[in-house]
Amino acid sequence: MSTAPSDDGFTETQVRVRYAETDQMGVVYYANYFIWFEVGRVEHLRARGISYRDMENDDGCKIAVVDARCRYKAPARYDDVVTIRTRVARRRGSIVHFEYQAVRAADGLLLAEGETVHVCIDNNFEACALPEKYHATLVGAGPSAAKPRVPLVLAPARGPQSPESVLRPTGDVSHEW
């Protein structure tokens, strides 16, 4: 695994797909992307002088995941080298948003993109302020780079046990499977 910062605020961490990370179809099992996002997040902070361990042990502050999302674009397969691009998309108060891109290193193909939202909590699992010493590192994060997003609209759900409404994509959602 290697880590390198880039000019656009992302830190790039490479992982190689292990056989155990693939499913019966020969592609990376979807939940593994969240594990890779965590690897990218830890390495992103480490590259900026922040240690999760020190934050928890010395400062009594944890950053708990309260929301996690991933959009899958193309499959990764056994032995592919995947670059996990990570950055702080924004921070407000005790809430930190991380943004991720999983890119196949061989050809630069975007495999997945996602985000996680974290809230700072203390040892009693109560929300707390992010310690001041981390502000300079995390405050410098600007809004995510402009990129096309699939517009979402509120559409009625189908079936008697579905929620009243769900978000459904309305734009082109092409996949390269």
Point out the residues that are catalytic: 23
Query: Is the CB of residue 165 less than 8 Å from the CB of residue 157?
Result: yes
Residue 105 phi/psi, 5° resolution? -65, -35
What proportions of the chain, in percent to the nearest 5, are helix, strand and coil?
A: 20, 40, 40
Looking at beta carbons, which pairs linking 28-31 to residues 24 or more positions away fall under 8 Å? Answer: 28/75, 28/76, 28/77, 30/70, 30/72
